[in-house]
């Protein structure tokens, strides 16, 4: 098995051989034209539609096993493929084909005093590993995004989706090979034990990046064991801070949207912070609105003194990602207090202030450490499509390289390039 880097330590396992074979395709992929990559994507989309029955059959195997194991309704729903979802998968791949190719673009080209023209060129990362939940659609989404950005990928999906993923990978790799690109560019790890994750995380010199998605335990395990660069897609304990100078109708609309629009996702609000200056006017109103939407409320003592029907929040509530119609509420003494609460309990995901006071909005934006900080808008906007990136791999809560949605650009590195006419250093 060849390896371009000369940097691989040990490793003769199946996973290592497979990763090395995927790595060996990275030079070819990095040099692939936009036309070639788009042809592969359209071939994948067409094959997904043509092979719908095979995909559904694989998915049926997974669903039967999951049902007999008694998996919860939410997990079953994520696992389940339908004709409509398969059609959506193909549409998603065609949307990625339609996005601009990030590879080879040069940003910030400038001419130095000696005439050397220097800039930064986007180039693929190389081989990207992704460890994810039992969601078969992620297999195709991730493969499409990696292909378009010129990266090979090594995918490891949740064990409950193994038969679905095998069907999808067979289709995708045949489609890639049909247009003359190497099928190993999309490689699937057909083992589902934790030890395999550890091995992936230690593929120094082979894997250029590992993205763990999913539960806290998995992400910790990867971080603790990795020798390769890791970008975490971690939980979102997101806050909306309603400032004393807020437009309360706007604050209500934003808070309700942030909580109830899609409570099961990472950019939903989990904690509402209310300035004491407007708590008297705002809390009864927002409590009524939330309760009308079926939200269970848990509050601090000051919240409960204004709205006695609210349950008491425990210390643990401030660090809990409910992913459900549950909201914790805390009264704070102005912006400084809100900033301190978010610094202590935020997870670097999404934070919002509602205020008509521009200075306070600016201070909030500047001082809050999160992948997206918003003024007068819902936390639900932390999403690749909403921010103008198109499709994305998920939301990074790692500060380096890509903080926020990871789209095609974020799946690339930027190298320096320089065009000279014989310049030497004096």
* Positions in 203-222 near a copy of itself (CB under 8 A): 204, 208-209
Closest approach, Cβ 404 to a copy of itself, in A, equals: 5
Closest approach, Cβ 151 to a copy of itself, in A, equals: 11
Close Cβ partners of 127 (under 8 Å, ≥ 6 residues apart): 19, 22, 23, 26, 151, 152, 153, 154, 206, 207, 208
- Integer angstrom CA distances of residue 103 from 34, 122, 255, 403: 9, 5, 39, 20
Q: According to the binding rule CB under 8 A, does residue 191 interact with a copy of itself? A: no
Subset of residues 250 to 279 that bind a copy of itself, contact rule: CB under 8 A: 250, 253-254, 256-258, 261
Closest approach, Cβ 250 to a copy of itself, in A, equals: 4
Reported residue count of the chain is: 426
Closest approach, Cβ 352 to a copy of itself, in A, equals: 8
Q: According to the binding rule CB under 8 A, does residue 366 interact with a copy of itself? A: yes
Query: Looking at 62, 345, 407, 408, which residue binds a copy of itself (CB under 8 A)?
Result: 345
Closest approach, Cβ 261 to a copy of itself, in A, equals: 5
Residue 309 burial by Cβ neighbours in a 10 Å radius (0-12, 13-18, 19+) = exposed
Q: With respect to a copy of itself, which residue has the nearer C-beta, 29 or 331?
A: 29
CA–CA separation, 343 and 18 (whole Å): 42
Query: Looking at 373, 391, 406, 408, which residue binds a copy of itself (CB under 8 A)?
Result: 373
Q: According to the binding rule CB under 8 A, does residue 109 interact with a copy of itself? A: no
Q: According to the binding rule CB under 8 A, does residue 335 interact with a copy of itself? A: no
Q: With respect to a copy of itself, which residue has the nearer C-beta, 27 or 35?
A: 27
CA–CA separation, 53 and 62 (whole Å): 14
Residue 302 burial by Cβ neighbours in a 10 Å radius (0-12, 13-18, 19+) = middle
Query: Looking at 264, 284, 301, 418, which residue binds a copy of itself (CB under 8 A)?
Result: 418
The token pair at 350 is 């999404």
Closest approach, Cβ 170 to a copy of itself, in A, equals: 30
Closest approach, Cβ 192 to a copy of itself, in A, equals: 24
Q: According to the binding rule CB under 8 A, does residue 392 interact with a copy of itself? A: no
Subset of residues 221 to 240 that bind a copy of itself, contact rule: CB under 8 A: 223-224, 226-227, 229-231
CB distance 230 to 208 below 8 Å: no
Exposure of 147 in the CB half-sphere (CA atoms within 13 A): 36
User: Tokens 């995004």 label which residue?
Assistant: 145
Per CB under 8 A, the segment of 78-86, 87-95, 159-167, 402-410 that binds a copy of itself is 402-410
Query: Looking at 13, 67, 112, 284, which residue binds a copy of itself (CB under 8 A)?
Result: 112
The site map against a copy of itself for 293-312 (x = CB under 8 A) is: --------------------
Q: According to the binding rule CB under 8 A, does residue 421 interact with a copy of itself? A: yes
Q: According to the binding rule CB under 8 A, does residue 154 interact with a copy of itself? A: no
Query: Looking at 23, 37, 78, 380, which residue binds a copy of itself (CB under 8 A)?
Result: 380
> 353 forms bridges with which residues in the sheet?
241, 375
CB distance 298 to 313 below 8 Å: yes
Phi and psi torsions of 243, nearest 5°: -75, 160
CA–CA separation, 354 and 247 (whole Å): 7
Q: According to the binding rule CB under 8 A, does residue 149 interact with a copy of itself? A: no
CB distance 297 to 327 below 8 Å: yes
Query: Looking at 89, 377, 391, 393, which residue binds a copy of itself (CB under 8 A)?
Result: 377
CA–CA separation, 81 and 63 (whole Å): 9
Closest approach, Cβ 403 to a copy of itself, in A, equals: 5
Total of residues contacting a copy of itself (CB under 8 A): 78
Q: With respect to a copy of itself, which residue has the nearer C-beta, 62 or 351?
A: 351
Subset of residues 13 to 42 that bind a copy of itself, contact rule: CB under 8 A: 27, 30-31
Subset of residues 165 to 184 that bind a copy of itself, contact rule: CB under 8 A: none
Which is it for strands 186-188 and 152-156: parallel, antiparallel or unpaired? parallel
Subset of residues 315 to 334 that bind a copy of itself, contact rule: CB under 8 A: 319
Q: According to the binding rule CB under 8 A, does residue 70 interact with a copy of itself? A: no
CA–CA separation, 308 and 303 (whole Å): 8
- Integer angstrom CA distances of residue 303 from 256, 290, 336, 340, 413: 17, 14, 18, 18, 47
């Amino acid at each position: 098995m060849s390896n371009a880097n000369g940097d691989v330590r040990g490793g003769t396992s199946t996973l290592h051989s497979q990763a090395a074979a995927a790595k060996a395709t990275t030079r070819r992929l990095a040099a692939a034209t936009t036309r070639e990559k788009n042809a592969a994507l359209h071939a994948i989309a067409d094959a997904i539609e043509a092979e719908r029955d095979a995909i559904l059959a694989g998915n049926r195997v997974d669903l039967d096993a999951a049902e007999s194991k008694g998996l919860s309704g939410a997990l079953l729903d994520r696992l389940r493929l339908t004709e409509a979802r398969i059609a959506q998968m193909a549409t998603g791949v065609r949307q990625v084909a339609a996005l601009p190719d990030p590879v080879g673009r040069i940003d910030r080209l400038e001419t130095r005093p000696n005439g050397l023209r220097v800039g930064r060129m986007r180039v693929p990362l190389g081989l990207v590993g992704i460890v994810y939940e039992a969601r078969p659609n992620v297999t195709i989404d991730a493969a499409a995004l990696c292909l378009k950005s010129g990266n090979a990928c090594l995918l490891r999906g949740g064990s409950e989706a193994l038969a679905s993923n095998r069907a999808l990978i067979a289709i995708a790799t045949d489609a890639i090979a049909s247009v003359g690109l190497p099928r190993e560019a999309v490689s699937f790890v057909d083992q589902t034990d934790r030890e395999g994750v550890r091995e992936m995380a230690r593929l120094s010199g082979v894997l250029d990046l590992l993205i763990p998605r999913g539960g806290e335990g998995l992400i910790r395990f990867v971080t603790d064991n990795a020798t390769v660069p890791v970008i975490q897609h971690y939980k979102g304990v997101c806050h909306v801070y309603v400032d004393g100078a807020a437009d309360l109708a706007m604050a209500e609309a934003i808070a309700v949207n942030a909580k109830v629009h899609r409570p099961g996702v990472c950019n939903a609000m989990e904690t509402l912070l209310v300035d004491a200056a407007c708590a008297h006017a705002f809390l009864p109103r927002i409590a009524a609105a939330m309760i009308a939407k079926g939200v269970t409320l848990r509050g601090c003592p000051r919240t409960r003194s204004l709205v006695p029907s609210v349950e008491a929040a425990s210390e643990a509530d401030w660090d809990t990602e409910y992913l459900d119609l549950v909201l914790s509420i805390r009264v704070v003494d102005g912006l400084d207090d809100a900033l301190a609460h978010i610094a202590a309990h935020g997870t670097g995901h999404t934070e919002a202030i509602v205020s008509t006071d521009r200075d306070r909005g600016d201070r909030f934006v500047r001082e809050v450490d999160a992948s997206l900080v918003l003024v007068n808008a819902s936390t639900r906007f932390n999403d690749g499509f909403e921010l103008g990136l198109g499709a994305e791999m998920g939301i990074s809560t790692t500060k380096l390289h890509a903080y926020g949605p990871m789209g095609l650009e974020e799946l690339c590195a930027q190298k320096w390039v320089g065009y000279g006419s014989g310049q030497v250093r004096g």
